[in-house]
Amino acid sequence: MPGMFPTLYPFGIGGFEDKTRATAISFKEQAAYYFNIPDRSFRYHFSYMFVALNMLQCRLAYLYTSFTVKNSNFDAVACELISISPDVLNSLAKKLEQEKKLSTLTSEEQHAFNLLKKVNTISTRIPGSQASKIFIRNEIRNFFAFFGLPQIFFMFNPSAAHSPIFQVIFGDKTIDLSSRFPKIISGRERAL
The verdict on residue 29 lying in a domain is yes
Residue 130 lies in a domain: no
What pLDDT does residue 124 have? 67
158 pLDDT exceeds 70?
Answer: no
- pLDDT tens, residue by residue, 105-123: 888 888 888 888 888 777 7
Domain coverage including residue 89: 70-118
The domain boundary residue, chosen from 12, 30, 45: 45
Among 37-41, 61-65, 107-111, 160-164, name the one with the lowest average pLDDT: 160-164
| pLDDT the model gives residue 47 | 92
Does the pLDDT value for residue 153 go beyond 70?
Answer: no
pTM (predicted TM-score): 0.50
Kindly report, residue by residue over 64-83, the tens digit of the pLDDT: 778 788 888 888 888 888 88
Q: How much is the average pLDDT of 3-25?
A: 86
Q: What is the mean pLDDT of residues 26-42?
A: 89
In-domain check, residue 129: no
Q: Print burial letters for 22-53: b (CB count within 10 Å at least 16), e (below 16).
A: eeeeeeeebbeebeeeeeeebeebeebeeebe
Check residue 189 and give its pLDDT. 78
* Residue 142 domain-assigned (yes or no): no
**Model pLDDT, residue 100:** 78
In a domain, 149, yes or no: no
Do both 5 and 40 map to the same domain?
yes
For residue 10, is it within any domain? yes
Boundary residue ending a domain (92, 118, 144): 118
Q: In whole angstroms, how far apart are CA 100 and each of 82, 85, 149? A: 25, 21, 48
Asked if residue 123 belongs to a domain, the reply is no
Count of domains forming the chain: 3
More confident residue, 35 or 63: 35
